[in-house]
Amino acid sequence: MFSITPKDIPTSKLHGYLLGAVAPRPIAFASTIDENGNPNLSPFSFFNVFGSNPPMMIFSPARRVRGNTTKHTLQNVEKVKEVVINVVNYDIVQQMSLSSSEYPEGVNEFEKAGFTMLASDEIKPFRVAESPIQFECKVTDIIYTGDEGGAGNLIVCEVIKIHINESVLDANGMIDQHKIDLVARAGGSYYSRARDGFFEIPKPVSTLGIGIDQIPSAIKNSTVLTGNNLGMLGNITLLPTDQDVDNFAKEHPQFIGLEMVKKHTFAQEYLENNDTESAWKVLLLK
């Protein structure tokens, strides 16, 4: 066994050790709003619940290790001290991952990731309609732990209203852990599905996906493709070229001229094997 003194290694390497060791971590899918009313949506795995009377949660949008900049979520709650913490289950994990891309200020991550903006009852930020449980919160304190890259900014929140989808409840009206199907964050690009174990999603932070809002309506409104499927399709940086699609058609003539439902079904099979590029080629075939 080897030992590490944190100050003796680069922050980026220390960050990797910490996140790989302290896992799985619950995800706070935080919705905020800036002083001009623009919505923001971003996930954070430095998060947990810290009390029930009063009900308190804390999450931390840490300073970026690269560039030592702060995130829009922190900037927003410094001005508008309200936040919705939406829980993340397996049905929305791909869309959640897409929303974590470093989109410029002013870009609506709800639209990019294909989520529905649902008005809150007590606060200004919107809820994620697709999330099975949403917590409307008032920010009571912000604790800054440092001013260097990687430093945490603890946002302390009091829960003032909870919204629960009845589909995740058991016969006694309590949350059924099998039905809610939560996911958590681990190290690197790994996630944990509470009932099934680990799976992997490529991290989108180094590139910008085109977003679900840029997917053609015939695909976006598919009766076959799920939200996770659309999240994967929206996470591609460039669509295949016409030449790429033509070459694919020559190699796979069985996909030419298919009706839409069958085309989407074959594309879904590619997505289930993490082959997003081939899925797009099937969808783009004439």
153 is a domain residue: yes
User: Is 153 found in the same domain as 227?
Assistant: no
Q: Which domain holds residue 136?
A: 6-200
81 is a domain residue: yes
**Of the candidates 173, 200, 227, which is a domain's last residue?**
200
List the pLDDT tens digit at each of the 286 positions of the chain.
989 999 999 999 998 999 999 999 999 999 999 999 999 999 999 999 999 999 999 999 999 988 888 999 999 999 999 999 999 999 999 999 999 998 988 899 999 999 999 999 999 999 999 999 999 999 999 999 999 999 999 999 999 999 999 999 999 999 999 999 999 999 999 999 988 877 777 776 567 899 999 999 999 999 999 999 999 999 999 999 999 999 999 999 998 889 999 999 999 999 999 999 999 999 999 8
Scanning the chain, the segments in alpha helix (DSSP H) are 11-21, 72-79, 93-99, 109-112, 177-180, 217-220, 227-234, 242-251, 260-272, 276-284
The bridge status of strand 117-118 relative to strand 153-164 is unpaired
User: Is 248 found in the same domain as 148?
Assistant: no
User: Is 217 found in the same domain as 171?
Assistant: no
1 is a domain residue: no
User: Is 187 found in the same domain as 268?
Assistant: no
pTM: 0.86
Determine the 3-state secondary structure of 65 from DSSP: coil
**Of the candidates 135, 170, 200, which is a domain's last residue?**
200
User: Is 59 found in the same domain as 115?
Assistant: yes
User: Is 12 found in the same domain as 42?
Assistant: yes
User: Is 269 found in the same domain as 142?
Assistant: no
User: Is 176 found in the same domain as 47?
Assistant: yes
277 is a domain residue: yes
Hey, which bits of the chain come out as E strands? 28-33, 39-44, 47-52, 55-59, 82-86, 117-118, 127-128, 133-144, 153-164, 183-185, 190-193, 197-200
29 is a domain residue: yes
User: Is 135 found in the same domain as 11?
Assistant: yes
183 is a domain residue: yes
User: Is 270 found in the same domain as 245?
Assistant: yes
User: Is 238 found in the same domain as 192?
Assistant: no
Structure-block tokens of residue 55: 């009900």
Placement of tokens 């295949």 in the chain? 240
206 is a domain residue: no
pLDDT, residue 204, reads: 65
What is the domain-level CATH number for residue 34? Answer: 2.30.110.10
262 is a domain residue: yes
Total domains in the chain come to 2
**Of the candidates 145, 166, 200, which is a domain's last residue?**
200
User: Is 97 found in the same domain as 46?
Assistant: yes
pLDDT, residue 94, reads: 96
Taking each helix axis from N to C terminus, what angle separates 276-284 and 227-234, rounded to the nearest 10 degrees? 100
